Amino acid sequence: MILPFFVIIPLGAAFLISLFGKKIKNFGDLLANLGTLSLLVFSLYSISKVFTNKILVYKVGGWMPPLGISMVLDGLSSFMLVTVNLVSFLVTIYSISYMEKYTDKYRFYTLFMLMLTGMNGIIITGDLFNLFVFLEIASIASYALVAFGTEAEELEASFKYAVMGSVASSFVLLGIALLYSYTSTLNMADISQVLSGRPAGMMVNFVAVLFLAGFGLKAALVPFHAWLPDAHPAAPAPISAMLSGVLIKVLGVYAIMRIFFNLIGINTVILAMLMFLGAVSMLMGVILALAQWDFKRLLAYHSISQIGYVILGIGLGTPLGILGGLFHLFNHSIFKSLLFLNSGAVDYSLGTRDLQKMGGLREKMPVTANTSLIASMSIAGIPPFNGFFSKLIIIFACIQANRFGYAFCAIAASILTLASFMKVQKYAFFGKLNPKWQNIKEVPWPMKLSMIALGVICVISALLIMPLFKPFLQSAANVLLLGNGYKDMVFGALK
Amino acid sequence: MIEYILCFILFCIGLYCVLRKRNIIKIVIGLGIVEYAVNLFFVLIGFRMHGRAPILAKDQTISNMVDPLPQALVLTSIVIGLAVTALIVAIAIRLYEKYGTFDITKIRRLRG
Amino acid sequence: MKNKKEVGMTLIVKTITRLTVGLILLYGIYIVLHGHVSPGGGFAGGVIIALSFIHLMLAFGKEAALKKLSQAASSILESLGALMFLSIALLGFLGGYFFFNFFLHKGTPFALFSAGIIPLCNIAISLKVGAGLFAIFAVLILFKSR
């Protein structure tokens, strides 16, 4: 019963804001925050639903699933929903004051809520073509949001992103067309059932390659990463936080996990490919990041590297690896969005993103400096923070699976990440205050509030691995470990 | 079989156009070709020999129709293609305002 | 002959447009309303409705068309169309499911007043598509003239 509301609430909010946002002042702020808050409450409620029922299947329009569209809520969906809606709620609080400097704030909220509709729809849907439609909704909204400032650089980045993203979507659609011609059904569980009844042929391998290219481009894995370092810094800071924090994970990583593990069925070749791509993006991203002086561009390269960790963990295919990959996915969405919000706060006060022009901001902006210190230590993997535990689990999983080379890559990338963030801290927040910045002030309270909240979550989400909270992660990992058993769960829930 | 191969050739022509051309309007046209190649492929999947259009009429029995589902899906994907094309054309016009050129090799302010 | 500034195309085009534009609009509305019993539907009809306004704009210049349907009005209509579609879907909860076909359930084939919510959905879609397509066209035109 609660399932369709994950799509209804943001979609309704988007069009109500576009209708009334111009006339009534602050209507956009109010409705967007209420919408994301209610989505967060619904997604937290969905955890308890998953614990009691295991899996929930909703028949849209009362049609039975192989014919009609279905919505499926299982452990993985619930885990992703909590991640997306937690970050989006804190980001909307942040944008109350950050977006003041742009005109047409209500248009920003309309596009933001449409992007959220797309992401929630991808997570909740149980139908392959429906997944494509929601993917396009989220992508088109994000192309427009990257170009929101309509300056020369932003338009250039958005054009690049839009062209590459459209080609990726065409690959995905071609894959869906081939899969439909092979199985003559579009329901995910039904496709899995048909595929498991037939020998795997060349067709399925070709489809797998198309999906890997399409969703890999959306996830910015290394051969397909060229759009990300342009597009993410060009967007306004709250949107950078959403794009880096959750969009690439939902459009890329979640879709890869769901389709390869539950639909097509995983095999060693695909796993080896995922691991290789993960390790390459992990190293390439961090090496490219070392040379950057633009704060947001540096963070964007780190996104590529951290997505590499997630893909490596999932590509190991062992229970521990998948658990670590999912845990790192959650942690990365928290600390990377916090870092992007920090860079936005610095940009808001100083008007520059160049690290060489900053220095000594600690005394003037204590909240920003301290939260960014927490986030930097999390991303670099310093013990009490969440990033340490997830990286540790991934490295242990590599060693357990006898993949010592990949374990070494992960450790090396972690050390390079630490070096790169020491540079950020040294040049931006420590050191002597540049006399030019004598009159700067700390940012307004909504921005402070959301940064502090994310900083606190950075610390306490390390507890997710403790036995008390572990079932939340474990139920998500179990869905992937189930593999082809997904179809039996879905059809079992229908009876 | 030949029609599927021609479809893939069309797809590759569109991809070539996107990757190789320098004018941004030509890139947008290339994206259109890619989209329509996929749409064409989708419609061809539903084809059956001597089938008739999937329309219910008063004096006809329901037999030997082509598959109506791919046609509905193609309609959806055409709508999506329309939205993407409109957005990219709008961005291209703005780019022309800012840079004064349609040449993609001259639009290079982002580096690194 | 030219005593005032000429906007739009020649007299021939304008006369033909005056004759045909109403018919095109009417044909669009026909396609929308018969979408559930014959080929067509919300998207096709909406495109034809938008084309009638674009036709007007091409023949008489943008002021004449924007006087009939301004850009702000078309963006409001677009949002209204989307909200109407969503609220029809929400009303399906009366029958227990999202998007449930809740009234005149299982209509008779070939009858105009049947098929429950599908004609209403078609009207909402046509509003959204027609207004949206016209707004896109108007925005691209206004870009060029600036």
Helix (H), strand (E) at residue A115: helix A105-124
Nearest-5° angle of CA B22, CA B24, CA B30? 90
What number of other Cβ atoms are within 10 A of residue B54's Cβ? Answer: 15
For residues A284, A289, A292, A293, the Cα torsion angle rounded to the nearest 10 degrees is 180
Report for A163-177, A479-493, C82-96: range of highest mean pLDDT: A163-177
Q: What's the one-letter identity of residue C132?
A: G
What is the structure's pLDDT at A303?
A: 92
What number of other Cβ atoms are within 10 A of residue B78's Cβ? Answer: 13
Mean pLDDT computed over C5-19: 82
Helix (H), strand (E) at residue A57: strand A56-59
CB contact under 8 A, A15 and C86: yes
How much of chain A is helix, strand and coil, in % rounded to 5?
80, 5, 20
When CB atoms are compared, the residue of C75, C86, C101 closest to A12 is C86
Mean pLDDT computed over A124-132: 91
Residue A73 near residue A56 (C-beta atoms within 8 A): yes
Chain A, nearest residue to C86 by Cα: A12
Helix (H), strand (E) at residue A323: helix A319-350
pLDDT over 70 at A277, yes or no: yes
In this predicted structure, which of A454-468, C15-29, C104-118 has the lowest mean pLDDT?
C104-118
Residue A408 near residue A335 (C-beta atoms within 8 A): no
Helix (H), strand (E) at residue A412: helix A404-424
Chain C, nearest residue to A14 by Cα: C79
Contacting A with CB below 8 Å, chain B residues are 11, 15, 18, 24, 27, 31, 34-35, 38, 41-42, 45, 69-70, 73, 76-77, 80, 83-84, 87-88, 91-92, 94-95, 98-99, 107-110, 112
What is the structure's pLDDT at A322?
A: 92
CB contact under 8 A, C38 and B94: no
For residues A357, A362, A368, A373, the Cα torsion angle rounded to the nearest 10 degrees is 100
d(CA B47, CA A451): 56
Q: Is A8 on the interface with C (CB under 8 A)?
A: yes
d(CA A126, CA A124): 7
Q: Residues A114, A116, A122, A125: is their CA dihedral positive or negative? A: negative
What is the SS3 assignment for A194?
helix
Q: What ipTM does the predicted assembly reach? A: 0.93
Of the candidates A141, A145, A139, A208, which has an alpha carbon nearest to the alpha carbon of residue A168? A139
Mean pLDDT computed over A68-75: 88
Domain membership flag for residue B112: no
Cβ neighbours of residue B48 closer than 8 Å, sequence gap 6 or more: B64, B66, B67
Residues from chain C contacting residue B56 (CB–CB below 8 Å): 109
Tens digits of residue pLDDT in A222-231: 888 888 988 9
What is the structure's pLDDT at A353?
A: 84
CB contact under 8 A, C98 and A60: yes
What is the structure's pLDDT at B104?
A: 83
The distance of A267 to chain C (nearest Cα, Å) reads: 37
Best of B84, B107, B108 to substitute, by most chain A Cβ atoms within 10 angstroms, is B84
Domain membership flag for residue B57: no
Residue C116 is given by DSSP the state T
pLDDT band at C63 (very low <50, low <70, confident <90, very high): confident
d(CA A214, CA A171): 5
Chain A, nearest residue to C100 by Cα: A61
d(CA A15, CA A32): 11
What is the SS3 assignment for A58?
strand
Q: Output the domain CATH number for residue B29.
A: 1.10.287.3510
d(CA A416, CA A381): 11
Residues from chain A contacting residue B12 (CB–CB below 8 Å): none
When CB atoms are compared, the residue of B75, B82, B93 closest to C140 is B93
CB contact under 8 A, C101 and A16: no
Nearest-5° angle of CA A112, CA A132, CA B68? 135
* Tokens 């059904």 found at: A185
What is the structure's pLDDT at A136?
A: 93
Q: Is B90 on the interface with C (CB under 8 A)?
A: yes
Domain membership flag for residue B111: no
pLDDT over 90 at A200, yes or no: no
Chain A, nearest residue to C87 by Cα: A12
DSSP-assigned letters across all residues of C7-76: -SS-HHHHHHHHHHHHHHHHHHHHHHHTTTTSS--HHHHHHHHHHHHHHHHHHH-HHHHHHHS-HHHHHH
Q: What is the pTM of this model?
A: 0.93
A256-282 per-residue burial string, b: 16 or more CB within 10 A, e: under 16: bbbbbbbbbbbeeebbebbbebbbbbb
pLDDT over 90 at C112, yes or no: no
Of the candidates B80, B67, B61, which has an alpha carbon nearest to the alpha carbon of residue A172? B80
Residues from chain C contacting residue A12 (CB–CB below 8 Å): 83, 86
Residues from chain C contacting residue A59 (CB–CB below 8 Å): 97
pLDDT over 50 at A28, yes or no: yes
CB contact under 8 A, C136 and B94: no
Domain membership flag for residue B104: no
**A221 φψ region: left (φ > 0), alpha (ψ -120 to 50), beta (else):** beta
CB contact under 8 A, A167 and B84: no
Residue A475 near residue A79 (C-beta atoms within 8 A): yes
Of the candidates A392, A350, A356, A233, which has an alpha carbon nearest to the alpha carbon of residue A302? A233
d(CA A295, CA A428): 9
How much of chain C is helix, strand and coil, in % rounded to 5?
70, 0, 30
Backbone angles phi, psi at C139, to 5 degrees: -65, -40
Number of domains within chain B: 1
pLDDT above 90 as % of chain A: 46
Nearest-5° angle of CA C13, CA C14, CA C20? 85
Helix (H), strand (E) at residue A410: helix A404-424
What is the structure's pLDDT at C34?
A: 83
Q: Is B58 on the interface with C (CB under 8 A)?
A: yes
Q: Note the helical H segments in A197-318.
A: 202-219, 228-234, 237-242, 248, 255-257, 268-290, 295-316
d(CA C93, CA C28): 31
What number of other Cβ atoms are within 10 A of residue A164's Cβ? Answer: 20
When CB atoms are compared, the residue of C83, C98, C101 closest to A15 is C83
What is the SS3 assignment for B1?
coil
The distance of A155 to chain B (nearest Cα, Å) reads: 6
The distance of A181 to chain B (nearest Cα, Å) reads: 6
Instruction: Name subunits touching A (3+ CB pairs < 8 A).
Output: B, C
What is the structure's pLDDT at A484?
A: 82
Contacting B with CB below 8 Å, chain A residues are 129, 132-133, 136, 140, 143-144, 147, 150-153, 155-159, 162-163, 166-167, 169-170, 173-174, 177, 180-181, 186, 229-230, 234, 291-292, 294, 297
What is the structure's pLDDT at C106?
A: 59
What is the structure's pLDDT at C1?
A: 43
d(CA C132, CA C138): 10
d(CA C83, CA A175): 32
Q: What's the one-letter identity of residue A1?
A: M
Residue B71 near residue B53 (C-beta atoms within 8 A): no
pLDDT band at C2 (very low <50, low <70, confident <90, very high): very low
What is the SS3 assignment for A1?
coil
CB contact under 8 A, B18 and A167: yes
Report the helix count and the strand count for chain C, using DSSP H and E: 5, 0
The distance of A241 to chain C (nearest Cα, Å) reads: 27
Residue A151 near residue A213 (C-beta atoms within 8 A): no
Residue B44 near residue B7 (C-beta atoms within 8 A): yes
Residues from chain B contacting residue A148 (CB–CB below 8 Å): none
How do beta strands A56-59 and A70-73 pair? antiparallel
pLDDT band at C146 (very low <50, low <70, confident <90, very high): low
How much of chain B is helix, strand and coil, in % rounded to 5?
65, 5, 30
What is the structure's pLDDT at A310?
A: 93
Q: Is B93 on the interface with C (CB under 8 A)?
A: yes
What tokens appear for B101 in the block? Answer: 């050129």
Question: What is the average pLDDT value for chain C, to the nearest integer?
Answer: 80
Tens digits of residue pLDDT in A420-471: 999 888 888 887 787 777 777 788 888 999 999 999 998 888 888 888 888 8
Instruction: Name subunits touching C (3+ CB pairs < 8 A).
Output: A, B
Residues from chain A contacting residue C101 (CB–CB below 8 Å): 61-62
Reading chain B (112 residues) residue by residue, the pLDDT tens digits are: 888 899 999 999 999 999 888 899 999 999 999 999 999 998 888 887 777 777 776 666 767 778 888 888 998 899 899 899 999 999 998 888 888 888 888 877 766 5
d(CA A235, CA A103): 15
Q: Is A15 on the interface with C (CB under 8 A)?
A: yes
